[in-house]
Structure 1
Amino acid sequence: MWWRKSLKFINDQVFADTVRVYYSYLQKTPNVSFKRALMVLAGSFEFDRRHNPEIVERPTDITELQLLIRQLPNFCEREREYPLSCEYSLKARILLHVHLFRVNLPWDTLHRDRLYVVQRCPLLIVEMVKCVCYLMKLAHAGYIE
C-alpha cells in the first residue's frame, strides 16, 4: 500500500501527474509569459478534488468565482487545453489572481481555499523550475528543440 501511494508522488509530495503537466506545457511553450505560467501552476493536480481529498468544493463556489472574475482586470477564463480548462484549475487560477491583486474574500469559504492554494505554490514553483532546468539541459544537449 505504501509503494502504491508513493508512486503517485515525486519528491516533496508533488504529484507525478502534475510534473507531467509541467513538462508538457513548458516544452510546448519556450517563451512562457507570467499569465501562462500561472495557468500551468493552477493546472496542478494538487488542487483537484479527485487527486487531493484536502480540497473542498462547495455549491456556492461557482457564483462566488463568477463575481470575482468581474473584479479582475484582463482575466482570460477561456482555456481549452486539459487540465487548464477544468473547473479546479479555473478556481485555482482565480484564487491566485485574487491573491496577487489583493482582493478581499469571504472569510469562511474562498479565503481558506486561497490560503491553501498559496501555501502549496512554493513547492509547485520549485518543481516547475526543476522541470525548466531539465528541459534546458535537454535542449542544450540537442535532444529537444
Structure 2
Amino acid sequence: MSKEVVLCRFRVNSKLKSDFSALCKSNHVTPSFELRDFMSRSLGLGRLDYQSRALHAPSTPQDSINNILKFRRASGQETVEPKPELPDYQEDFDLDTTFNFKLDPQLKEMFSEKFSDLPLSSELKRYMSYVVRKNS
C-alpha cells in the first residue's frame, strides 16, 4: 500500500459488521485487512474472489467444524444449519452504522473501474455477508 491513503466509509448493518469483525478477530486478521485483501485478490484474478485465505483457509474437516463451533459460541449463536432459501444476509437488515477503513487510493480506483456494475460499498457488503454466511 502506498503512503497515501483514503478513508473508505460505507453504511452497513451493525449485526453484519459485528459478525464480520468477530470472525476476523477469531482468525487473527483485522476487518480492514480482509476487505483490502478481497479487493486485491479480485483485481489479481480479474473476477470477484470471495474465497478468503485468512477466513476459510484449507484445513481438515475437523478444524473447520471446530472453528465454526468456536465462532458461534463466541457470538452467542445457536449451532443450527443455515437455511439456503433465505435471502442474502445483507439484504435483510437496515444500514444502521458506518464501517470505516483505510485504503490505497489506487486500489480503490482500480477496483471501482474493474467492477463497475455495483458501487464499491455494495461489493464490500456482499463480500462481508458471504463470509459471515459461509462461516456460520
TM-score interval, normalised by the smaller of the two chains = under 0.3
Quick check: which one's helix share is greater? 1
Q: Give the TM-score, by structure 1 length.
A: 0.27
Structure with greater Cα Rg: 1
Q: Give the TM-score, by structure 2 length.
A: 0.28
